């Protein structure tokens, strides 16, 4: 069912736009990390790009309704530097979502009694907290001139939960089973 309230719909469109841009810039920064000699950091960018696609897809589907054009206003992070600098952009973007954007969007969906939007915002908010931490770890390594230490990255295809080196039996955010996680 499509959302009923204009403000929640605006926030879903804005979040969709923001997640779409995050998806793309992480793929770009991942390519740059690979070229800079950080294949594990590149893998982290690629995996988290997928998590942002999951968020974008969730917001898009919750919007529902008939197909039509909309102008989307969404914050984005721009710039192409060394990987340590790009990671600062990633950290800033994630922290903005965790501290400002998603708490406000989530509370609006709650206030307007939009349970599907609330669920979609909740999934993204919780996953972004993990992303901020992982990007911080990656930046600490890159600043020291090292790659990250990881074997694989696992992403929940329902909520975007992201974890290194092995999926949990159940996703701590949405409860999806271990077998559903996508491995990078």
Q: Which residues bind Fe ion (CB under 5 A)?
A: 128, 131, 156, 158-159, 161, 171, 173-174, 176
The 10 Å CB-count burial string (b at 16+, else e) for 120-157 is bbbbbbbbbbbbbebbebbbebbeeeebbebeebbbbb
- Of 13 and 53, nearer to Fe ion (C-beta) is 53
Q: How far is the CB of 26 from Fe ion (least distance, A)?
A: 8
Residue 47 contacts residue 111 (beta carbons within 8 Å): no
Judge residue 34's burial from the number of C-beta atoms within 10 Å of its C-beta, 0-12 exposed, 13-18 middle, 19 or more buried: middle
| Separation CA 24–CA 39 (nearest Å) | 18
Q: Is 25 or 131 the residue whose CB approaches Fe ion more closely?
A: 131
Minimum gap (Å) between residue 68 Cβ and Fe ion: 28
Residue 15 Cβ vs Fe ion, minimum distance, rounded to whole Å: 11
CB 63, min distance to Fe ion, A: 20
The span from the CA of 166 to the CA of 44, in Å, is: 14
Give the shortest CB-70-to-Fe ion separation in angstroms.
Answer: 23
Provide, rounded to whole angstroms, the least separation between the CB of residue 67 and Fe ion.
27
3-state secondary structure of 122: helix
**Tokens matching residue 114:** 């939009």
Q: For residues 35 and 178, which CB has a smaller minimum distance to Fe ion in the complex?
A: 178
The token pair at 94 is 């994630």
For Fe ion, the closer of residues 4 and 92 by Cβ is 92
Reading the block at residue 130, the tokens are: 């993990």
Of 7 and 95, which CB lies nearer to Fe ion in the complex structure? Answer: 95
> Among residues 9 and 174, whose Cβ is nearest to Fe ion?
174
């Amino acid at each position: 069912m499509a959302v009923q309230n204009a403000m929640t719909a605006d926030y879903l469109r804005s979040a969709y736009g923001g997640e779409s841009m995050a998806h793309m810039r992480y793929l770009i920064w991942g390519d740059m990390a690979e070229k800079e000699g950080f294949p594990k950091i590149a893998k982290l960018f690629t995996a988290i790009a997928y998590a942002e696609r999951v968020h974008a897809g969730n917001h898009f589907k919750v919007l529902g309704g008939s197909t039509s054009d909309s102008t989307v206003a969404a914050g984005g992070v721009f710039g192409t530097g060394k990987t340590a600098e790009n990671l600062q952009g990633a950290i800033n973007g994630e922290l903005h979502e965790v501290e400002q954007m998603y708490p406000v969007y989530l509370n609006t969906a709650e206030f307007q009694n939009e349970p599907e939007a609330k669920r979609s915002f909740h999934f993204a908010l919780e996953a972004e907290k993990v992303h901020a931490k992982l990007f911080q770890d990656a930046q600490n390594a890159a600043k020291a001139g090292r790659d990250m230490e990881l074997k694989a990255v696992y992403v929940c295809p329902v909520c975007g939960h992201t974890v290194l080196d092995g999926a949990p039996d159940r996703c701590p955010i949405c409860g999806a089973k271990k077998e559903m996680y996508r491995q990078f």
